[in-house]
DNA sequence: GATTGTTATGTAAATACTGACATATTACGA
DNA sequence: TCGTAATATGTCAGTATTTACATAACAATC
């Protein structure tokens, strides 16, 4: 199975969801570390159902169109569980901003510094959002990772990665911007 | 133009290279933040040449097959320069290990801890390699980012991102592993 | 009554990327 | 001399992903 399939299963292992729900989860919170458009999700759900990893039931709604709510099967849960402890496939790192940094010597230092400052701001904003979620988690689940529920710990761990990433990335942006500014005047 | 084109131009703006050279650079050092297989590179070079961003000459070699050495044109350099200060397209973050962390509550804590410890080791190894390059750069180019050559600063900046990333990532892996171990016994 | 927005589900076309196939030169070692 | 490895350049099929197209129910507002 492809990673997208496991991404879908990872959400369905926590709660039953429609394709539309999944689409929204792929924006937030899962979108922070895995993303997919609805044009990927609907065919993937069909494939997962064909393979026996999920099933669906139609739910009639008032004030909204009907929806198909998907649930994970025992088989799907087993496949997901087995996948979790397998080493991840060697990913191809791709970061456009680092590529730009690598060629920044061609640019006007002032214009480049503005870019990296703006990007720094963006990552600081994202960091702030993550930290708010972190505060909520710690308030509701406790501050000790060892004492919170296992499922909560998993969510907390994923969030922690996001916090580390954004904090470090923002710092790097600021550092690059400062180095560029030094070149602007003297 | 697509990002791959700028990745190729970013290498050719520093020195003339053959398709095969580019392929190797896409493994190391560019591969640390952008990667492509040779099956992408050769068609991309043809496209770039058609658009007037690069030109090539055939170089005969002794003991090796002939090669096509590509060089960037003034037009290519201008296009690259303009691209550098434009904000990057909103990337879709994809990290399989974080996705696994999100579903780690389904797994046996022991097996999962082993995975995260192994991944931590990998990132620590990569960090060590980066730090060796960093030491070489600082020895040869000076320790002050403001005083080294602009092109050197650009290389140094890209490396710095790699160092920050690996250090933070390795730390996170260790933290997750520790949290999982706590669950193993008590 | 018409337009806009949200929920809801899909398909199709285009682009991007990977992995396999394909070929040729030369060096080196068994 | 035969196989293996490195250098060197390409194509092609399949997979993955994005963008655009397409439809429909219902709510709220103008």
Question: What is the DSSP-derived secondary structure letter of residue B63?
Answer: S
- Nearest Cα of chain A lies from the Cα of B63 at a distance, in angstroms, of 33
Per the structure, the complete domain to which residue B135 belongs is given by: 96-185
Q: Are residues B109 and B154 in the same domain?
A: yes
Nucleotides of D under 7 A from a protein CB: 7-13, 15-20, 24-27
Q: Are residues B117 and B61 in the same domain?
A: no
Let me know if A151 is exposed, middle or buried by CB neighbors in 10 A (0-12, 13-18, 19+): middle
pLDDT of residue A148: 97
Strand C contact with A90 (CB < 7 A):
no
Kindly state the greatest CA–CA separation across chain B.
Answer: 68
Q: Are residues B123 and B151 in the same domain?
A: yes
What gap in Å lies between CA A132 and CA B110, rounded to an integer? Answer: 31
Q: Give, in Å, how far the C1' of C30 lies from the CA of B63.
A: 21
Span B70-83, pLDDT tens digits: 999 999 999 999 99
Q: Are residues A119 and A151 in the same domain?
A: yes
**Of B58, B84, B110, which marks where a domain is finished?**
B84
Residue A90 included in any domain: no
Subunit contact A106:B35, Cβ cutoff 8 A: no
Residue A78 included in any domain: yes
pLDDT of residue B186: 60
Q: Which nucleotide is nearest to B43 (CA to C1')?
A: D10
Q: Are residues A73 and A124 in the same domain?
A: no
Here the tokens at position A118 are 């703006």
- Our separate counts of H helices and E strands in chain A read 7, 3
Q: Which residue has the tokens 């669950």?
A: B183
pLDDT of residue B91: 80
What gap in Å lies between CA B70 and CA B46, rounded to an integer? Answer: 10
Q: Does residue B100 register a pLDDT over 90?
A: yes
**Of B54, B84, B114, which marks where a domain is finished?**
B84
Element (H, E) at B29: none
**Of B84, B111, B140, which marks where a domain is finished?**
B84
Q: Are residues A132 and A176 in the same domain?
A: yes
Q: Are residues B122 and B66 in the same domain?
A: no
Q: Give, in Å, how far the C1' of D21 lies from the CA of A19.
A: 19
Residue B159 included in any domain: yes
Residue nearest to nucleotide D6 (CA to C1'): B64
Residue B89 included in any domain: no
pLDDT of residue A92: 85
What gap in Å lies between CA A38 and CA A94, rounded to an integer? Answer: 23
Residue B13 included in any domain: yes
Subunit contact B183:A150, Cβ cutoff 8 A: yes
**Residue partners of B163: CB distance under 8 A and separation at least 6:** B127, B130, B131, B134
B164, A172 contact by CB (below 8 A) = yes
Strand D contact with B43 (CB < 7 A):
yes
Count the domains in chain B.
2
Which residue, among B166, B158, B177, B26, has the nearest Cα to B100 in the 3D structure? B177
CATH code, domain with A15: 1.10.10.10
Q: Are residues B67 and B115 in the same domain?
A: no
Let me know if A65 is exposed, middle or buried by CB neighbors in 10 A (0-12, 13-18, 19+): exposed
Q: Are residues B79 and B113 in the same domain?
A: no
Handedness of CA B103, B104, B106, B111 (dihedral sign): positive
Q: Does residue B185 register a pLDDT over 80?
A: no
- Nearest Cα of chain B lies from the Cα of A143 at a distance, in angstroms, of 12
Q: Are residues B101 and B170 in the same domain?
A: yes
Residues of chain A with pLDDT under 50: none
Hey, is A17 helix, strand or coil? strand
Residue A46 included in any domain: yes
Q: Give, in Å, how far the C1' of C10 lies from the CA of A182.
A: 54
What gap in Å lies between CA A7 and CA A53, rounded to an integer? Answer: 13
DSSP string, A71-110: EE-HHHHHHHHHHHTSPPP------HHHHHHHTGGGS-HH
Q: Which residue has the tokens 């399989």?
A: B96
Residue A91 included in any domain: no
B7, A99 contact by CB (below 8 A) = yes
What gap in Å lies between CA A39 and CA A36, rounded to an integer? Answer: 8
Q: Which residue has the tokens 């389904």?
A: B106
B146, A183 contact by CB (below 8 A) = yes
Q: Give Cα B83 to chain centroid, integer Å.
A: 18
Which residue, among B154, B132, B111, has the nearest Cα to A104 in the 3D structure? B154
Q: Are residues B104 and B167 in the same domain?
A: yes
Q: Are residues B106 and B173 in the same domain?
A: yes
The mean pLDDT value for B33-48 works out to 98
Q: Give Cα A99 to chain centroid, integer Å.
A: 22
Residue B30 included in any domain: yes
């Amino acid at each position: 199975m492809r990673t997208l399939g496991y991404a879908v299963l990872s959400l369905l292992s926590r709660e039953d969801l429609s394709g539309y729900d999944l689409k929204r989860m792929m924006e937030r919170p899962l979108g922070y570390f895995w993303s997919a458009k609805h044009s990927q999700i609907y065919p993937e759900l069909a494939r997962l159902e064909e393979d026996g990893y999920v099933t669906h039931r139609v739910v009639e709604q008032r004030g909204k169109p009907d929806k198909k709510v998907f649930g994970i099967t025992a088989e799907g849960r087993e496949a997901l569980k087995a996948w979790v402890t397998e080493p991840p496939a060697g990913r191809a790192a791709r970061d456009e901003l680092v590529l730009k940094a690598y060629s920044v010597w061609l640019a006007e230092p002032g214009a480049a510094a503005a870019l990296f400052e703006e990007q720094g701001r963006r990552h600081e904003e994202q960091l702030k959002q993550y930290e708010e979620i972190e505060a909520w988690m710690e308030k509701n689940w406790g501050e000790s990772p060892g004492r919170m529920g296992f499922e909560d710990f998993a969510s907390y761990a994923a969030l922690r990665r996001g916090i580390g990433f954004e904090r470090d990335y923002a710092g790097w942006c600021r550092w690059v911007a400062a180095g560029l500014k030094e070149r602007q005047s003297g």
